[in-house]
Amino acid sequence: MKLQTSCSDSIWQFYIEGEFLGLDAVLLTNKIEALDVVSCGKVVVDISQVTFIESTALGSLIYCHKHLEKRGVPFQLADTREHALDLFRKC
């Protein structure tokens, strides 16, 4: 997995590329948990370049959503509907 991060106008964007596996999920979760939620307006995780997602990694996306939701920070997945559904069906 390749993970790139950027922040612009209080929007944190995480770009994931390749296979998104359990150990990769720990890295993403740690980065999201370390965000300063006071200055964070929104978190976007782009999975459009993910070729495979392991069930543990899918669980981490759900965890990150709930973690941020409790702190009042919107969480969004960026991808086409068809690609995302195809990934999730293979979990």
Please tell me the distance from the alpha carbon of residue 40 to that of residue 36, in angstroms, as a whole number.
Answer: 6
What's the pLDDT band for 27 if we cut at 50, 70, 90?
very high
* pLDDT above 80 (res 37): no
* pLDDT above 80 (res 63): yes
What does pTM read for this prediction? 0.88
32-36, 73-77, 81-85: range with lowest mean pLDDT: 81-85
Whether 61 and 32 have beta carbons less than 8 Å apart is answered as: no
Which residue is it, tokens 């086409």? Answer: 80
The pLDDT, as a whole number, for residue 18 is 95
Residue 38's SS3 state is coil
* pLDDT above 80 (res 73): yes
Please tell me the distance from the alpha carbon of residue 26 to that of residue 16, in angstroms, as a whole number.
Answer: 13
